[in-house]
Structure 1
Amino acid sequence: MPIFRQLFDTTSSTYTYLLGDAAAGEAVLIDPVFEHVQRDTALLRELGLRLVATLDTHVHADHVTAAWLLQQRTGSRILLAGAATAVNVDRPLQHGDRIAFGSRHLEVRATPGHTSGCLTYVLDDHSRAFTGDALLIRGCGRTDFQQGSPQRLFRSVRTQILSLPDDCLLYPGHDYRGVTVTSVREEKRFNPRLGGDVDEADFCGYMDHLGLPHPKLMDIAVPANMRCGQPDGHGAPAPEPGWAPLVYTFGGIWEIQPQTLLERARELQLVDVREPSEFTGVLGHIAGARLAPMAQLADHLSALDPQRPVVAVCRSGARSAQATVLLRKAGFTQVANLAGGMLRWNAEALPVVGAAAD
């Protein structure tokens, strides 16, 4: 059996899948997420695997792929449907192609309909298939943008996915309820859109009247994913900081998670860039934080030690992200933003000073 791990991004409810051949030490990642590069490369390192390729099931509209960033850091190849017409792709995939990792391989099946460039990856023994958004657990991806088509999706799912053996496990690109896996047998019987006696007319009538809003990140994610996740105008990514486990965002900001900050607070300089009324307001502030409102941040720089890491804090993480940019321009090289700001800090019930502690 190949090494198999199912990974999750809570922001977009995206599943990333790692498949590896232990004997050969080779692996592939399906649908990697930009913000989880450190997590994924750490897992590969711990499992003794070399990443040979990243495989996206389609051009995503709700998150940015990590394909380009992983290529920069590991030398992996970028594989994506040729029909997607994206740039930076090392191998444009076609229906019937095979993707090898060690002695194992994935079979490429074209499953357009959610987008024109959707692919399903089927493990060589037909025991598992990775369906992206073409087929979700008891559902399917929408068909109203990116050259989507309910007619094409119905035919794709019926001929390329539900034609697999009944006991083949199906792993979707997303699930919003915490369900992790289904099977061909289950979806043929219980999928309300595509299973049972539903015909093409039934399906198209349903899909044409969903009336869903566009994904919130669509205007950022789609252009970025047409570059396979390469930030616009960016060259090679910044080297990973060694002073704390940080996450690099697509916007080019290093972020520290609240629990990590709590554990390392004594080693760091905390700069809270909110207004004084917010600092002592309902959300309180983190013990040891220095109040330096954004408009006055430049006046506080002389009080900071440029040799020690600095973490910027605000209500939601937006103002403090800008503060990290200003700090870097001022010559501070070890800078991070508190992910989610004081809203997330309070949501995780971490200790505060001020009104919220009352």
Structure 2
Amino acid sequence: MNKQPPLIMRQLFDRSSCTYTYIVKSSGSSDALLIDPVLEHVSRDISVLSNMSANLTKILNTHVHADHVTGSGALKERLGSTAVQTFISRESGAVADVLVTNNDKIDIGDGRFLTVRSTPGHTPGCISFETDDQASVFVGDAVLIGGCGRTDFQGGDSAQLYDSVKEKILSLPDETNIWPGHDYNGRTVSTVKEENTFNPRLTLKKSEFVNLMDTKFDGSNYPSKIDASLPANMVCGVFSETTKQPVLHPGGFLWVPEKFKPDKMVKLAERVKAGAVICDLSSGEGGTYSGDSLDTPWHENDHSLFLSEFKAKVPDFDAPVILCCKTGKRASKGCALLEMAGYRDLTNGINLKNVAEEIGE
């Protein structure tokens, strides 16, 4: 029986967000992959790879992070956009070179590989990476040493997280090393046996865990970098050279900040009277707004087309803008796109249906 060449790994740390980045390669190959890089440490990561005589070919993201901007895009730019591929879960809604799902295999080199394990709950698109010999699993924020990731934003679900962790991570052999995405107390690694025995959250019954998580995390105290991190990480940190903003990829989805969700308290009639630009993104005949509005179609499969058409018609970045649609979802995405482009006075006008009649248009 042929013995597998051993894996070589480096664990790197970002002090600001307490994020761990991992380099993994086979001893018999020069190819390497990187897990969860941080933008501010791209030069460090390249230096470590060079010292290891390693050639970076793959960048894996365990999920769309909220507390830091990924270094994926900057690494692709520095090392060659075609030479390095980015990976993220298909369920995340994010854009990457390769979208993966449960049980997919990611080649490390020299016959070694990682298996993708779908571990949603912290976010819907969380994945973990299990080595082929089950000696290690890279879990992102699904499991932390003595804890787990939050579930109160980004579509988190406490019950789902509990099931994911129990079925996909803590069911591995006792000696499997658990490599977390963060640690805030100076710890570096744990094992399945340790977390099954000592983790104060994950040793609870499911109902107790859900109650604890839903009580402890109530949607407040969001990560300080969330507004910058999520839009950037939804496109794996690929930035425009001219605007320094996230590149808008066809078919990509955007996280929508709370401020662009429909607000029934906004006095839309007053804003309309004041001359706000109104753009109706509704599909079908009739639309949402019965008065005159800007004719700029919403391109669901290419958001960059909407943005370019809107900018051509409204070149003033200080112009008051109201986007509307039937549910507020398209308007929310549109507001996020326009804010990234530099527009400064944006409103989600879901309640514009009767405004035209109200003001006599």
TM-score (ref. length: structure 2): 0.63
Per-residue CA deviations over 1:4-23 (Å, capped at 9, x if unaligned) read 10000001000000001232
Contact 2:145 2:189 in 1 (8 A): yes
Contact 2:150 2:217 in 1 (8 A): no
Say whether 1:200 aligns with 2:206: yes
Per-residue CA deviations over 1:296-320 (Å, capped at 9, x if unaligned) read xxxxxxxxxxxxxxxxxxxxxxxxx
Cα distance in structure 2, aligned partners of 1:174 and 1:211: 18
Which residues of structure 2 form unaligned runs of 5+?
Answer: 1-5, 246-361
Residue type of the partner of 1:201? S
Contact 2:151 2:217 in 1 (8 A): no
Corresponding residue for 1:320?
Answer: none
* Equivalent residue for 1:132, pick from 121, 137, 140: 140
**Matches for 1:164-175 after TM superposition, within 5 Å:** 164-175=172-183
Contact 1:134 1:157 in 2 (8 A): yes
Per-residue CA deviations over 1:188-221 (Å, capped at 9, x if unaligned) read 00001012xx211001000001146100000110
Cα distance in structure 1, aligned partners of 2:156 and 2:217: 14
Partner secondary structure for residue 208 of structure 1: helix
CA 1:33 to 1:180, structure 2 compared with 1: closer, same or farther past 3 Å?
A: same
Cα distance in structure 1, aligned partners of 2:88 and 2:100: 6
Which residues of structure 1 form unaligned runs of 5+?
Answer: 238-358
Residue type of the partner of 2:33? V
Contact 1:166 1:184 in 2 (8 A): yes
Per-residue CA deviations over 1:143-197 (Å, capped at 9, x if unaligned) read 01111100100000000000000000101000000000000000000001012xx
* Equivalent residue for 1:98, pick from 101, 105, 110: 105
Corresponding residue for 1:304?
Answer: none
Corresponding residue for 2:158?
Answer: 150
Q: Aligned residue pairs: how many?
A: 234
Per-residue CA deviations over 1:86-126 (Å, capped at 9, x if unaligned) read 12x11101000011111211110000000000001011100
Residue type of the partner of 1:204? V
Residue type of the partner of 2:20? Y
Say whether 1:191 aligns with 2:191: no
Contact 2:116 2:128 in 1 (8 A): yes
> What do you get for the CA RMSD once the two structures are aligned?
1.5
Cα distance in structure 2, aligned partners of 1:127 and 1:42: 27
Corresponding residue for 2:62?
Answer: 57
* Equivalent residue for 1:85, pick from 88, 93, 114: 93
Partner secondary structure for residue 227 of structure 2: helix
Corresponding residue for 1:47?
Answer: 52
Contact 1:52 1:101 in 2 (8 A): no
Residue type of the partner of 1:9? D
Residue type of the partner of 1:4? M
Contact 1:14 1:174 in 2 (8 A): yes
Find runs of 4+ consecutive structure 1 residues off by over 6 angstroms.
none
Corresponding residue for 2:10?
Answer: 5
**Matches for 1:315-326 after TM superposition, within 5 Å:** none
Overall identity of the aligned pairs, in %: 45
Partner secondary structure for residue 144 of structure 2: coil
Corresponding residue for 2:186?
Answer: 178
Cα distance, 1:229 vs. partner? 1.0
Cα distance in structure 1, aligned partners of 2:242 and 2:100: 26
Cα distance in structure 2, aligned partners of 1:126 and 1:234: 44
